[in-house]
């Protein structure tokens, strides 16, 4: 007489199904998610509407880095953010850059599996990865010291001298770089050599702080030099002789000339594209665009306003400006053109850093950077937009 195999209990069948599903999910989690090949396509493929909030997001990440706060209180760390500039995660750096890059790529792939981003791009020494990553450690950044130099609270930030009819300080009383900036502006405005509205000067102060930290002898690998990191070619165009390239008054005078040149080159295209925006938003946007032009050149920024292909984001933002801040528009125009016309993240970082520096100047008690104490400022348009519309 043979034996009859007993039927599997009902719960046994459920357990078998459960383990089959679990093993399937584990296999999916461990299977590689293939990366996209081009990080620029990830950015350009995003809807223009996704630029809403990008300015504040990038400003937050850069503020952590410059002030060593937030997720960058530990300098040996990378923070990752998406195509809207939104912070996603951070990793602690590995023992070397190669291992750190491997860790970043593994984190990127995990984010796709978790549904936190829709795609990832493998980064290496020569290719930008996505989600984007930036290192917290910035060895040349010391904003508190740079601001002390700029305000003359540090000996390296005080000066006296003469340049092209402009004299600042005396043998017994040196002045700050801040006072020098406004003195040079005042003189050139009186001579009608510049038409810049005075409320643009805080932006130039922020540029100076970011460019050199107020260090007179600062030099870059690109051969830029001085407190405003001007190239020999630009200094030559400004009429500054070689032996005066580090002269701080001459550097400020040349930087004002550059601002004036950019102002004249961009004001028409800007108004043609954004002249219908509310006045305050126009002014905020124009100031950001002038900062970008100082860094990347006015021709490149002008193309974002007038070029048939590059200006498509600008046109969208102009038509839908009520949904975006001035900062979102400025950054969005660059974000949607990253990788084109030599436009990169450096433009966004530079603009954010300049604004952060200017805000820090205000936060330490210099609430009104528009007036040079004790000196009469020549009549000027009340803001950048008013100057444009004259």
- pLDDT at res. 338: 86
- 224 in any annotated domain: yes
Q: How far apart are CA 156 and CA 148, in angstroms?
A: 9
Half-sphere exposure of 343 (CA within 13 A, CB side): 24
Q: Are residues 159 and 197 in the same domain?
A: yes
Q: Does residue 173 share a domain with residue 147?
A: yes
Residues 121 and 169 in one domain: no
- 214 lies in a domain? yes
Q: Residue 30: inside a domain, yes or no?
A: no
Please tell me the predicted confidence (pLDDT) of residue 21. 45
Kindly state whether residue 7 falls inside one of the protein's structural domains. no
**What was the pLDDT predicted at 157?**
94
Does 357 lie in the same domain as 242?
A: yes
**Six-digit token string for 379:** 């009549």
Tell me whether residue 1 is in a domain. no
Q: Are residues 118 and 159 in the same domain?
A: no
Residue 340 domain flag = yes
What are the per-10-residue average pLDDT scores of the chain (390 residues)?
A: 47 47 45 72 82 95 94 94 93 94 95 92 89 89 90 94 95 94 96 91 94 91 91 94 96 96 95 97 96 94 96 97 97 90 89 94 59 38 48
Give pLDDT, residue 362.
80
Q: How far apart are CA 85 and CA 8, in angstroms?
A: 55
In order, the DSSP letters of 29-89 are: HHS--PPBS-HHHHHHTS-GGGGTTHHHHHHHHHHHHHHT-GGGSSSSEEEEE-TT--EEE
Query: Are 357 and 234 part of one and the same domain?
Result: yes
Domain boundary at 135, 151, 176, which?
Answer: 135
> Which residue from 147, 178, 184 is spatially nearest to 164, judged by alpha carbons?
184
Is the domain of 152 the same as that of 285? yes
Q: Is residue 272 part of a domain?
A: yes
Q: Helix, strand, or coil here: 146?
A: helix
Q: CB-based contacts of 133: which residues, under 8 Å, 6+ apart?
A: 78, 79, 80, 81, 104, 123
- C-beta of residue 195 within 8 angstroms of C-beta of residue 247: no
Eight-state DSSP code of residue 163: E
Domain boundary residue among 108, 135, 162? Answer: 135
Residue 12 is assigned to a structural domain of this protein: no
Residues 6 or more apart in contact with residue 376 via CB below 8 angstroms: none
Please check whether residues 376 and 272 belong to one and the same domain: yes
- Closest alpha carbon to 185 in 383, 370, 384: 370
Examine the domain organization and report whether 207 and 294 are in the same domain. yes
* Among 135, 170, 197, residue at a domain's last position: 135
Q: If you count them, how many residues does the chain have?
A: 390
Q: Are residues 41 and 157 in the same domain?
A: no
Residue 116 and residue 224 in one domain: no
Q: What is the pLDDT of residue 9?
A: 55
Q: What is the CATH number of the domain that holds 177?
A: 1.10.530.10
Supply the pLDDT for residue 127: 85
Same domain, yes or no: 190 and 75: no
Q: Locate tokens 């990080």: which residue?
A: 39
The count of domains in the chain is: 2
- Structure confidence at residue 380 (pLDDT): 41
Structural domain harbouring 296 = 143-389
């Amino acid at each position: 007489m043979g034996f009859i195999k007993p039927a599997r209990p009902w719960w046994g069948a459920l357990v078998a199904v459960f383990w089959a599903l679990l093993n399937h999910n584990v296999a999916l989690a461990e299977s590689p998610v293939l990366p996209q090949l081009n990080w620029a396509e990830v950015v350009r493929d995003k809807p223009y509407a996704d630029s809403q909030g990008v300015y504040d997001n990038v400003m937050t990440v850069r503020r952590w880095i410059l002030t060593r706060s937030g997720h960058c209180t530990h300098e040996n760390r990378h923070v990752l953010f998406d195509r809207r500039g939104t912070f996603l995660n951070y990793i602690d750096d590995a023992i070397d850059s190669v291992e750190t890059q491997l860790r970043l790529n593994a984190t990127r792939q995990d984010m796709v599996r978790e549904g936190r981003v829709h795609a990832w791009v493998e980064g290496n020494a020569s290719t930008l990865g996505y989600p984007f990553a930036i290192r917290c450690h910035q060895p040349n950044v010391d904003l508190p010291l740079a601001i002390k130099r700029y305000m003359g609270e540090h000996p390296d930030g005080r000066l006296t001298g003469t340049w092209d009819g402009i004299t600042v300080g005396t043998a017994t009383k040196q002045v700050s770089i801040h006072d020098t900036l406004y003195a040079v502006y005042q003189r050139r405005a009186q001579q009608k050599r510049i038409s810049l509205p005075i409320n643009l000067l805080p932006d130039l102060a922020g540029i100076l702080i970011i460019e050199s930290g107020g260090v007179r002898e600062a030099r870059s690998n690109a051969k830029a030099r001085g407190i405003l990191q001007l190239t020999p070619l630009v200094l030559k165009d400004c009429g500054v002789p070689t032996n005066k390239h580090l002269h701080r008054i001459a550097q400020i005078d040349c930087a004002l000339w550059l601002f004036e040149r950019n102002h004249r080159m961009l004001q028409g295209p800007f108004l043609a594209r954004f002249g219908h925006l509310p006045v305050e938003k126009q002014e905020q946007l124009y100031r950001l665009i002038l900062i970008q032009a100082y860094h990347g050149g006015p021709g490149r920024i002008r193309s974002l306003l007038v070029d048939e292909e590059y200006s498509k984001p600008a046109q969208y933002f102009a038509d839908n400006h009520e949904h975006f801040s001035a900062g979102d528009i400025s950054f969005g125009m660059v974000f949607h053109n990253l990788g084109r016309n030599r436009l990169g993240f450096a433009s966004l970082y530079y603009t954010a850093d300049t604004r952060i520096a200017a805000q820090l100047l205000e936060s330490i008690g210099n609430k009104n950077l528009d007036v040079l104490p004790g000196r009469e400022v020549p009549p000027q348009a009340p803001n950048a937009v008013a100057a444009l519309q004259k």
